[in-house]
Structure 1
Amino acid sequence: MTKLVEESPYRWRIEPEGAMRVPGIVFASRELLPDPAEDQALGQVAAVATLPGIVEASYAMPDMHWGYGFPIGGVAATDVDD
């Protein structure tokens, strides 16, 4: 289960654990956060944070929802040299 830490009413953090290289940052109100029992988007945000070359964080916008490997509404930047 992915644990969210509330940084502000509209910004949540998934602390790096396991193979995560960077944290996950979620921009959403409490009402817009997906229900982990029904939507695996938060787990996908954490999974993206394990990718080679990822820099800064794995981000999720307020419209995030489960995708095929990468959450819809997810954003990630990578360093091609890493």
Structure 2
Amino acid sequence: MSTEETTNNNGRVLRGKVVASKMTDTITVAVERYVKHPKYKKFLRRTKKFLVHDAGNKAKVGETVEIKEVRPISKRKSFELITTK
């Protein structure tokens, strides 16, 4: 008796801007988020860069893209490209 179990782990989906695309099948995406300062209550902008797998080198520098978290592809690459806008 064979039972198929499929697990669909929906990872984080983030939106950011492509800042570099000189690597093969890899782009660098800067994702911004806003954080409220605990004492002064001012909203601060925080930026983090992610290496993203881009099969076919579709994304260009300056485009806004959506990325999804997947299993690790390499040491620093754990996201893949979903859409470009």
Greater percentage in strand: 2
Q: TM-score, normalised by structure 2?
A: 0.31
- Decide which structure has the larger Cα Rg and report it: 2
Higher relative contact order (CA 8 A, sep 6+): 2
Greater percentage in helix: 1
Q: TM-score, normalised by structure 1?
A: 0.31
